[in-house]
Chain A
Amino acid sequence: MQRTEALINLVEVIAIRKLVKDYGNLRAVDGIDLSIQKGEVYAFLGPNGAGKTTTVEILEGLRPRTSGEVEVLGLDPWKDNKKLIRQLGVIPQDFKFFDKITPKEAVAFYAGLFGKRADADAILKKVRLEDKASDRYETLSGGQKQKMGLALALVNEPAVLFLDEPTTGLDPQARRSIWEVIRSLRSEGRTVFLTTHYLEEAQLLADRVAIINHGKIVATGSPEDIIREHGRSEVLSLQAPPKLADYLRSKLDLPVRAEDHTVDVELNSNEDVLRVLTLVQQSGIPWTGVSTRQDTLEDVFIRLVGKTTESGDVGPTALGGSK
C-alpha cells in the first residue's frame, strides 16, 4: 500500500543515466540507470568491489564521473556540490573524524556550519550515543564511531541521505537502533539511499532494491518483486528416504528432488501442499519432518551474483537468512 501511495506522487530525487566511472583501465561502474523517488528507502546491494561506493560518491559529489548523467535533487552533484551538500546527509564508508573532538562538539560544529539550530543531545540520543557524548572520537568503539557518523548526517535535516554500509561491524542491537533511525527518516518523508551487505537489512527496510555486480545492475525492484522474478518457487521439504521421491514422481506432475535424507517438492500453489501431504500419507513411507521454504533475497542475490558476498560477511547474512 505504501508503494502505491508513492507511485501516485512520483518525484524523482535521484536520476542516474548511463553512468560510467573508470579508474584507469578499470571500469568500476559500467553504464547504470537508476531512478529513485522521494520518500523511498532504496537499498543498493552488491558484492565487494561491485561499484557501490563509487556510485554513491559520485552522487554525493565527492567524485567526478567518466560519463553519463547524474542528478540529485535536480542538481549536478559534482558541479553544484556546495549547493547540494546543504540538503544531503552522508555517512561515508569507513567514516572518520578528528581524534580529539567529541560527538557533542562535532554535532555543534556541523550545526554551525550548516547554519542550523540543532539540539545535540536529542540527536545523539536518537542514535543512542548519549552516553559517549563527551568522549573524544579516538576513544570510541567502531560501532560508536559509526553512530557518530549517523548523528552528523542528521544535523542538517537533509532531504536525501546516503548511507554507505551504515551497519557494517555493528552488534545486532546497535544495528537495530540504526534501522529504527532509518525507519523514522522514511516516515518523515526523507529519501534514503543505503548500501549494505546484509540482505536481511535490505529486505526489512527497503522499498526497492538494486543489485549491482561488476559495475552493472543485475536486478531492480521491491524485494518481493525480485524474489518473484528471480527466485525459485516455494519448496516443500520432507525428511524421508529417497524412495519417497520415486513414489511422488510417479504420482505428481511437480518437480521432485532427493538429496541425502531430504525430499524437496517444488510447489505451484497452496493446494499443492495438501496434494503432496495426502500422497505421502498414502505411500506409507515413514518420514520424520516437514517444512516449506521460500527463497530469500539472499538466495536470489547469491544466484544472481554467483557467489556469497564475501566469506567474512556470511555470518550476519546467514543469521538473517534463516527465517
Chain B
Amino acid sequence: MSPRRVYLNLGVFAKGYLRSRVGLFFALVFPVILILLFGAIFSNSSTTSVDVYVQNLDHNSPLSLQFLEALNSTKVVHLHFVSPSVGNLSKWLAANDQSDGLVIPAGFAAGYFNKTPVNLTVITNPQDATTSGIVYGAVDGVANYFNLQRANGTVILNVQQLSPPTLGGQSFQYIDYLVPGLIGFSVLTSPMFSMVNISSEYKKEKLFRQLSLTPLTKSEWLSSTIIWYIILTLVSTVIMVAVGQGAFGAKVTLSPLMLPFLVLGPILFTSLGLLAGSISKDPETAAVIGNIITFPMMFLSGTFFPVSLFPPWLVTVAHVLPLFYVIDGLNAAMLYGNVGTALFDMAVVGILALILFIASVRVFQWREN
C-alpha cells in the first residue's frame, strides 16, 4: 500500500466526482433538503389530536375545569378523565397501555389565586418524541396563558414533564432523532449508490483494466475511494447538524464519539457497494441489487423515524441491518451521551466494515479471468 498512490488516485477520483455534480447533490444537498422537509412537516403540531388522560386532584374546582376547557380548545389534545381514586397516574397509564397524562394537583385553584407556585405534571412517552412534544407544548401554552392573566407572566402554574431517568431528564423532539437518522441516511446512500454504479460502470467501460495497467493496486484504489466518502460524510454531517440546530433548534451535539461511525460507516458501505457492483454482470443488474440492499435499510434503520416506534417484529428486522447500528450509535453519541451503547454499536459496525472491506477487495477484479 503506497500512501502516495492512494493520494494521487484520491485526487483524480475527487475531481471526477466534483465535476459531475450529481454525486455531490445527493451527498450534501439532498440530506439537507430532507431535514428541512421532514423537520417542517413534523415540528408543526398539525397532526391529529393526542389522547391525554387527566387526573384532577383539585376536586373539579371551577378553575381547574376552566383550565381543562382551555386545553381542550387547543384541539391538539383529546382529554379523557381518570378518577383520583386510581392512585398514581403513571402506573395507571402503564397498566392501561396509554402513554400521555396530566395531573392537576390538589390546591390548584387556591395556589393560583394566592399566587403560590403550583406544579402541573405532564406524563409522556419519551420514545415518542412527536406526541410528547405536542402534549407538553399544549399544557405549557395554556399554563402560560393563565400565568399571564393572573400575575403578568410570573410563573404560578409550573409544568413538569415526567421522563425516564435514562434520558437524563431531557426530552427529545422529532427533529432531535431526525438529525442523526439522516446523517446515517447519507452515510449509507452516498457511497452505496455511487459505488454500485461506479464499480459496474468501470468494469463495463474497461476503466479498471486501464488502472490495472499502472502500479496502482485494487486496495489502494478502494482506500482512496473510501477516504473520499469519509470526507464527504464529515462535511455533510457538519452541515446537517448546523441546519438541524439552526432551523429547528435540534438538541444534537457534535461529539467525538460520532467520529468512529463517520469513518467506519463509509468503509462499510463503500465496500458493500463495490461488492454489489462486482457480483453483477452489468450496470442494470447492479442497480437492482444495489436497490434491494439499500432501500430496506434506508427506511427501517431509524433514519426517518426512531426504531423505538416500530412494532416489535420490525424492531427485530432493524437489528439485522448494519445501518441500524450506525444510527443507534449516532443517537447514543449525539443525544444520550451513552458511551456504552456507542461502544457496542461501534464494535458491530467495525467488524462488519472489516469483513466487507476484505470481501470486496477479494471479489472485485481488475483483470478478466
Contacts and interface: CB of A to CB of B under 8 A. Distances in A.
Contacts of B19: 100, 136
Nearest to B19: A100
A113 B206 contact: no
A112 B4 contact: yes
A98 B369 CA distance: 23
A94 B15 CA distance: 23
Contact of A97 (B207, B215, B368): B207
Nearest to B367: A62
B15 A101 contact: yes
Contacts of B15: 100-101, 105
B85 to A, nearest CB: 75
B367 A113 contact: no
B255 to A, nearest CB: 36
A85 B209 contact: no
Given A113-B216, A114-B214, A98 B8 contact: no
A98 B15 CA distance: 10
A163 to B, nearest CB: 13
A63 interface: yes
A60 interface: yes
B140 to A, nearest CB: 54
Given A96-B207, A113-B8, A90 B16 contact: no
A36 B5 CA distance: 33
A92 B209 contact: yes
Given A63-B367, A100-B15, A112-B4, A94 B206 contact: yes
B20 interface: yes
A94 B209 CA distance: 11
Contacts of B217: 82
Interface string A67-83: 00000000000000110
B206 A109 contact: no
A127 B225 CA distance: 31
Interface residues of B, number: 24
B212 interface: yes
A88 interface: yes
B213 A85 contact: yes
Contact of A98 (B16, B214, B367): B16
Contacts of A249: none
Nearest to A94: B206
B209 A62 contact: yes
A96 B12 contact: no
Nearest to B213: A90
Contacts of B367: 61-63, 81
Contacts of B206: 92, 94, 96
B69 interface: no
Nearest to A111: B8
A188 interface: no
Contacts of A114: 214-215
B368 A98 contact: no
A287 interface: no
A110 interface: yes
A61 B213 CA distance: 9
A136 B16 CA distance: 10
Nearest to B5: A113
Contacts of A96: 205-207, 210
Interface of A: 60-64, 81-82, 85-86, 88, 90, 92, 94-101, 105, 109-110, 112-115, 136
Given A82-B215, A95-B210, A105-B12, 18 more contacts: A61-B367, A63-B367, A81-B212, A85-B214, A90-B213, A92-B206, A96-B207, A96-B210, A97-B210, A99-B16, A99-B20, A100-B15, A100-B16, A100-B19, A101-B16, A109-B9, A109-B12, A114-B214
17 contacts: A62-B209, A62-B212, A81-B212, A82-B215, A85-B212, A92-B209, A92-B210, A92-B213, A96-B206, A96-B210, A99-B20, A101-B16, A109-B8, A113-B8, A113-B216, A114-B214, A114-B215
| 5 shortest interchain CB distances as A-B pairs | A100-B19, A112-B8, A100-B16, A113-B214, A90-B213
